[in-house]
Amino acid sequence: MDTRQNDIVTMFNQIAKTYDLANRILSMGIDKLWRAKACNMVFSFYNQQHIETIVDVACGTGDLMIDWKNIASNNSIVVDKIIGIDPSVGMMEVGKTKIKDGVFIEAGAENMPLEDESADIISISYGIRNVVKREEALEEFARVLKPNGILVILEFTKNDKNDLASKITNFYMHRIMPVIGGLVSGNSEAYMYLPASIDNFITTKEMINELKSVGLEPIFTKGYSFDMSTTFIARKI
């Protein structure tokens, strides 16, 4: 594993036990709304009542896996299998306590042990920013998706705006989040990494171009909460 990628995985292993609590406090629960909205939209775009396989990449502690299961049930959609993939064993160990019958695989986004064209839907929620070999990961998503399959990405994209809302968001990310995250987790360095990783990440436009370059056609893109979080939905063409 790439040294930088290994450092990121180690960091998530260290904060795994407090990750859910810190996340709820820092996002004030809004992240749950973003994820639920994305799941509902994906099911609408895919428009199938029987789905064989959903793969949640960088699944962490399994929150999105739970959302997929519950929202599918609410929409009378049958899902045969939901697979969680993550290189952080510590995060997945927490996930296994929440999803007793869950399928978890230790692997990186750029090298998934899955067959070609085997997934109906692939999701990655606030994880693509932490993938060092991002372009290889997008190529891997395209490989594993079935034709017309759907990829959904939720991520904190780089914001180049200089308006008041952006300034407030940046102040929260750089000044407030590291303090609160550090207090909850006992690891302030990990929560200093978060805003730094957003600053070093790509813009929404750049992400759209990268998706297109691997044969994934964006069909929905929208920023939420002053563009703090962006949802990308793309179809394999």
d(CA 3, CA 136): 16
For residue 72, the model assigns a pLDDT of: 98
Query: What is the reported pTM?
Result: 0.92
For residue 160, the model assigns a pLDDT of: 67
Q: Are 183 and 153 in contact (CB under 8 A)?
A: no
Number of residues in the chain: 237
3 state DSSP class of 220 = strand
CA distances from 18 to 57, 61, 163, 186, 215 (A): 20, 10, 33, 9, 37
Note the pLDDT tens digit of each residue in 72-112: 999 999 999 999 999 999 999 999 999 998 999 999 999 99
CA angle 210, 212, 216 (to 5 degrees): 110
In a domain, 175, yes or no: no
In a domain, 185, yes or no: no
Structure token pair of residue 64 = 């999105």
d(CA 122, CA 144): 9
Q: Are 179 and 153 in contact (CB under 8 A)?
A: no
For residue 163, the model assigns a pLDDT of: 76
CATH number, domain containing residue 118: 3.40.50.150
d(CA 61, CA 107): 15
- The segments of the chain whose pLDDT lies below 50 read none
180, burial (CB in 10 Å: exposed 0-12, middle 13-18, buried 19+): middle
For residue 56, the model assigns a pLDDT of: 98
In a domain, 90, yes or no: yes
In a domain, 67, yes or no: yes
In a domain, 184, yes or no: no
Looking at the structure of the chain, the number of domains it has is 1
For residue 113, the model assigns a pLDDT of: 98
In a domain, 82, yes or no: yes
Q: How far apart are the first and last CA of the chain?
A: 30
d(CA 166, CA 173): 10
Instruction: Residue 125: give the domain boundaries.
Output: 3-16+27-159+202-236
In a domain, 42, yes or no: yes
d(CA 64, CA 45): 18
3 state DSSP class of 200 = coil
In a domain, 53, yes or no: yes
- What lies within 8 Å, CB to CB, of 112 at 6+ separation is 55, 57, 85, 105, 140, 144
